[in-house]
Amino acid sequence: MKLFDDILQKVTVNSKDDGTNFTCTTRIEAIKELLRESRYELLQEGNLTLVYGKRKPIAGEGIVLISTHIDCVYSQCFCHDKGDIWQGTFDNSFTNAAALWNMLNDRFAENVIVAFTGDEEKDSTGALETAAILTEMNCNISYAIVLDVTNAGWDENAHFTIENDYGFDIYTAHGLVELLKPHEEELVFCHDAEPDETSDYFYTYGIPCFTLCAPVKGDMHCDKGTLLRKSSFAPYTCIMSTIANNLIK
């Protein structure tokens, strides 16, 4: 837990863009520093995305893309320890930290690519740039998992939600349900949630995708921040890696 708390503190810093380029790169530099001595290499740095992998994908290889946006709307960012909860500006530093924790602890398979994107709060240009970069690399993006925070599921004491699911065939959907069964008391399904990067991945590039969200309490865009249960950390990171590693077999 101490390592995750350290990661969360380091990435809960400012990150801004103008829809074309990053204008504040504090979080970008934190991510790069955290991954500097890891197994991951920066495959591509775009105007609004950082794309990481353990290796360059083989042409035509089926990959799973994890996409977590780093742009935020806060005037200042913070993360406070409040005992059993954190209070802070976690849209979207919590899922940035969760993805990084899995990366640093070698929890993802070789064919899992992780992208840290910009402009999600407006037009999802970072997601579109990510998909374009991977397409140019001749990657077969078989599935995308978008990471974000949500207000859904908090009152149900859920540790994660599945939202905005698009394009899964019956066979794959059945496999996902089987993976989720042991965690059914920890999750909430929300098929028609607020728009996010999933619609761009699916409707522009035809990539089957869904959003894996972490429930928080409070206004996600308010400078006062939100509440986040510390108990959500372990199940959220676990289900993220479990699903990503089993989508392609």
- pLDDT tens per residue, range 11-33: 999 999 999 999 999 999 999 99
Q: Do 69 and 197 touch, CB atoms closer than 8 A?
A: yes
**pLDDT on residue 35:** 97
**pLDDT on residue 1:** 55
**pLDDT on residue 192:** 75
DSSP string across the chain: -HHHHHHHHHHSS--EE-SSSEEE-HHHHHHHHHHTTSS-EEEEE-SSEEEEESSPPPTT-EEEEEEEE-----SS--EEE-SSEEEE--TTHHHHHHHHHHHHTT-S-TTEEEEEES-TTTT-HHHHHHHHHHHHTT-EEEEEEEEEEESTTTTTT-SEEEEEEE---HHHHHHHHHHHGGGTTTEEEESS-S--HHHHHHHHH---EEEEEEE-BS-TTSTT-EEEEGGGHHHHHHHHHHHHHHS--
Which residues of the chain fall short of a pLDDT of 70? 1-2, 249
**pLDDT on residue 219:** 97
Assessment of whether the complete model's pTM goes beyond 0.85: yes
All structural domains of the chain, each given as residue ranges with its CATH number in brackets, are: 2-246 (3.40.630.10)
- pLDDT tens per residue, range 210-241: 999 999 999 999 999 999 999 999 999 999 99
CA–CA dist 214, 234 (Å, integer): 11
Q: Rounded to an integer, what is the distance from CA 233 to the centroid of its chain? A: 13
CA–CA dist 9, 195 (Å, integer): 27
**pLDDT on residue 2:** 61
